[in-house]
Amino acid sequence: MLNLQQYNSKGNTMPQKHATVHHSEKPRKLKKIGVFTSGGDSPGMNAAIRAVTRTAITNGLQVIGIVGGYEGMIQGDFRELSWLDVSGILQTGGTILKTARSQEFRTKEGRKKACESLLKEEIDAVVVIGGDGSFTGALAFSEEYDIPFVGIPGTIDNDIFGTEYTIGYDSALNTVVQAVDKIKDTAVSHGRIFFIEVMGREAGLLALNSGIAVGAEVILIPESTNDQKVFEHFISKGYKRKKTSGIVIIAEGDEMGGALKIAEKAEKENPDLDIRVSILGHMQRGGSPTAKDRIAASKMGVAAVEALIDNRQNIMIGLKHEQVVHVPFSEAVKLNHAIDENLIKIQHILNS
């Protein structure tokens, strides 16, 4: 059994909520870093893996890909990544390192196994590419073991506090817009109302911005408290103006329920309406990343390795005003990412 005591110098002390310095107590000599993707996949994750790998190699470091997220870390599913291993992946969707959610890592026993695997492989630091759940896992690990983690935000929801942008959001947004533009053609042709469900169980930014981009009559998101009123106004007032079609964009986590539930209720209350439902589902996660996602992933990947070399740990790399910022994991996972109320106002003005 490996001796973990020397890596447990932090005890259970929580990181300071507003800490600004995130250097380890003494300089480390980095030789080998791990990189993995966790949680839901998003376009641009491969671009981030490429940037991390090539930046590390340029700085004389060995790179180990951890296959299958935290579960792969527990199982010791590692493979070395070379310069050529990440060639040709910049434009591909998904993740070459696979991804998974690990229930075992949520336990102290699971995190202990993960630490043992990292130490056995002699991995000195880790880059995690994922969302809120992935960073929550990294934060829990950092409270127990002194192996540096740096995070890169990769999620199509764009809902991580401390960064204006997460990898995959622009690609997913464009996928939604392209799909709804096509649906709108048939909606107009048949005089139908389409209820279109997009991803966003707890965050509605994807639904809100895609709705504005396609000119949706109604946008229903989890953050809004007057969805029922907005929807009823659309039904009662919109069709009195003799509109022949309509688009309702619904985030899957909206308080009124998903698209199927809302459409069923609308049909029952308005039997004269011709209603159809389209659930875009996981197509939003796939496909080639946009230029914006490729550039953001490249920036963040380089910055993540540079942060580790600079002896920083337990932070997320973010972007604000196109510039790299360092955000403590404790803030990234515990503070809420707020919706811009001006966007809701804009949508109401354009469709009132």
Among 252, 270, 285, residue at a domain's last position: 285
Predicted confidence at residue 303, as pLDDT, reads 98
Predicted confidence at residue 43, as pLDDT, reads 98
135 shares a domain with 35: yes
Q: Residue 326: give the domain boundaries.
A: 5-167+289-334
Look at residue 348 and tell me if it is in a domain: no
Look at residue 347 and tell me if it is in a domain: no
**CATH value at residue 213:** 3.40.50.460
271 shares a domain with 175: yes
Question: Where in the sequence numbering do the catalytic residues fall?
Answer: 157
Look at residue 144 and tell me if it is in a domain: yes
The span from the CA of 109 to the CA of 152, in Å, is 25
308 shares a domain with 239: no
Predicted confidence at residue 90, as pLDDT, reads 98
Look at residue 342 and tell me if it is in a domain: no
Predicted confidence at residue 238, as pLDDT, reads 59
Predicted confidence at residue 67, as pLDDT, reads 98
User: How many domains, the chain?
Assistant: 2
Strand 218-220 relative to strand 246-251: parallel, antiparallel, unpaired?
parallel
161 shares a domain with 263: no
281 shares a domain with 191: yes
pTM: predicted TM-score of the whole model, two decimal places: 0.90
181 shares a domain with 161: no
Length of the chain: 352
Among 285, 314, 344, residue at a domain's last position: 285
Q: Are 256 and 174 in contact (CB under 8 A)?
A: no
98 shares a domain with 85: yes
Return the residue matching tokens 């390795």: 305
In the chain, DSSP finds a helix count (H) and a strand count (E) of 11, 11
The span from the CA of 275 to the CA of 290, in Å, is 32
Measure Cα distances from 333 to 99, 104, 337 in Å. Answer: 20, 20, 10
Pull the structure tokens for residue 309. Answer: 């070399």
The span from the CA of 198 to the CA of 206, in Å, is 8
DSSP per position, 122-147: T--EEEEEE-HHHHHHHHHHHHH---
303 shares a domain with 236: no
Predicted confidence at residue 34, as pLDDT, reads 98
137 shares a domain with 264: no
Return the residue matching tokens 């192996």: 147
124 shares a domain with 84: yes
Predicted confidence at residue 351, as pLDDT, reads 76
Predicted confidence at residue 229, as pLDDT, reads 80
Strand ranges, E, within the chain? 32-37, 62-66, 78-80, 125-130, 149-153, 193-198, 218-220, 246-251, 275-279, 315-320, 323-328
pLDDT in tens, the chain (352 residues): 444 544 443 433 333 333 333 455 556 689 999 999 999 999 999 999 999 999 999 999 999 999 999 999 999 999 999 999 999 999 999 999 999 889 999 999 999 999 999 999 999 999 999 999 999 999 999 999 999 999 999 999 999 999 999 999 999 999 999 999 999 999 999 989 999 999 998 889 999 999 999 999 999 998 877 777 877 888 776 555 556 789 999 999 877 888 999 999 888 888 888 999 999 999 999 999 999 999 999 999 999 999 999 999 999 999 999 999 999 999 999 887 788 888 888 988 887 6
**CATH value at residue 314:** 3.40.50.450
137 shares a domain with 33: yes
111 shares a domain with 40: yes
